[in-house]
Amino acid sequence: MYQIISKKALAPAIYEYEILAPKVAKKAKAGQFIIVKVDEQGERIPLTIADFNRETGTVTIVFAEAGYSTKKLGQLNAGDAVQDFVGPLGVPSHVDKLGTVIMVAGGVGVAPVYPIAREMKIAGSHVVGIMGARNKDLIFWEDRMKEACDELFVTTDDGSYVRQGFVTDVLREYIEKEGNPAMVMAIGPLPMMRAVANMTKEYGIKTMVSLNSIMVDGTGMCGACRVTIGGETKFVCVDGPEFDGHLVDFEEQLMRSRQYKSEEQQAMQQSSCGCGGGGKCHG
């Protein structure tokens, strides 16, 4: 069992947990992920590592209550424990002194972007952060991002905070003004990462994205997290989670991400009606 040391509500239905997992914290690197399971019957939830502290032995995760399993995770509190916390998994981000790098974060993607931006800055790169959300209420970790970046731009879809527009609007403006960066990294919803990759392809800018696909075992044996990269099949859990955004088959990824939508809706309905997901739900 892995104890929750602290819990913070960052935004509506978005939580930050600090989990006591010394062995994971000791080896964790920016860009890697963990798989958490609430209890013996729970689903395995893949979450990119948002932060880690080797001295305290803690790992920070951030998640949104998007379905039955994450809602169940969100009901826990400090002092509670999760059944499994496996990691670190995946290939770490390539961190180096690259010149100017632009880190684009959409929604909850701010959390996994943060440690990569921090490490890039430490390595000597000039880090430009662009973070966006639907509205002001969903903006979080702005202070952390300011520390991790040399420049930070914030935008909201509805204009309720700083400026109105999408992250791609800010990205294009920056490129047109300052020229091509050495690299762009985008983490967030699939449509956002696709939009960023499509745009940077126009300029010939190297672009990396971090995929969070359907997973089961997380070791490459089941093949559930397969993705098509440049016409080849890769597994997110062992080959990723980061891939060249210009080579990702986003249409396939979007289709696969909706594969269990009806089952997820049924599970949410069963949990809300009190039957706990077992047996027939009568609403």
Long-range contacts of 148-152 (CB under 8 A, 24+ apart): 148/114, 148/117, 148/118, 148/121, 149/103, 149/117, 149/121, 150/121, 150/126, 151/127, 152/128
Query: Strand pairing of 126-133 and 151-156?
Result: parallel
The DSSP call for residue 50 is -
- Measured distance CA(14)–CA(134) in Å, rounded: 14
- As to burial, measured by CB atoms within 10 angstroms (0-12 exposed, 13-18 middle, 19+ buried), residue 7 is middle
Tell whether 222 is in a known binding site.
Answer: yes
Tell whether 273 is in a known binding site.
Answer: no
Tell whether 149 is in a known binding site.
Answer: no
Query: Strand pairing of 2-11 and 14-20?
Result: antiparallel
Q: DSSP string covering 95-109, please?
A: ----SEEEEEEEGGG
Query: Strand pairing of 151-156 and 183-187?
Result: unpaired
Q: DSSP string covering 116-167, please?
A: HHHHHHHHT-EEEEEEEESSGGG---HHHHHHH-SEEEEEETTSSSS-BS-H
Which residues are documented as binding site?
222, 225, 237
Which residues are documented as binding site for [2Fe-2S] cluster?
222, 225, 237
